[in-house]
Structure 1
């Protein structure tokens, strides 16, 4: 997968189409990502006296990585991601629209 934790992504399919958010967690085995403020689910939670109070808790649900596109930090547009090798042998991601390197180390 070419999406990593803390990347800014935009949703391109589904009920949250057009929303942008930061990637909180990547689940490569399931090909899913957890994006901040996207796919909000409600969970009914019972109270446990010493630990937590009960109620309806809202949290993000995982969505497929194919439904999000990485937002390029330099051109601020959702873009496809390419991989290339630099002269020093490191593999970096780059924006297919403007050609800028996304991974700045």
Structure 2
């Protein structure tokens, strides 16, 4: 049986780095990386790519809610603006 060599996944940005969006609806905006997914090549940038989610009321008499939540964007759409992870 042959061993399959797995490639180590690596992103060009890390948590805590400041990035500039270079493509998409938020082009030109600057934010901080809060979470990364190396397998999907996606990152979560603080206060960028906000999506709206409508939540139904769970009990009778309760009102529904509208939540704003950050959605991940592809790492190829951002460029490193300032490296904050190294002291």
Same fold, TM-score > 0.5, yes or no: yes
The answer on whether the counterparts of 2:17 and 2:82 sit within 8 Å (CA) in structure 1 is: no
Aligned to 2:71: 61
Root-mean-square deviation (CA, aligned residues, Å) is 2.0
1:55-76 deviation digits (Å, cap 9, x = unpaired): 1111111100000011135xxx
Tell me the CA shift for residue 40 of structure 1: 1.0
Aligned length: 75
State the distance in 2 between where 1:103 and 1:31 align: 19
Tell me the CA shift for residue 103 of structure 1: 5.3
Tell me the CA shift for residue 48 of structure 1: 3.5
Which consecutive residues of structure 1, in runs of 5 or more, have no partner in the other structure?
A: 74-101
Which structure ranks higher in relative contact order (CA pairs < 8 Å, sequence separation ≥ 6)?
A: 2
Which consecutive residues of structure 2, in runs of 5 or more, have no partner in the other structure?
A: 1-10
TM score, norm. by length of structure 1: 0.63
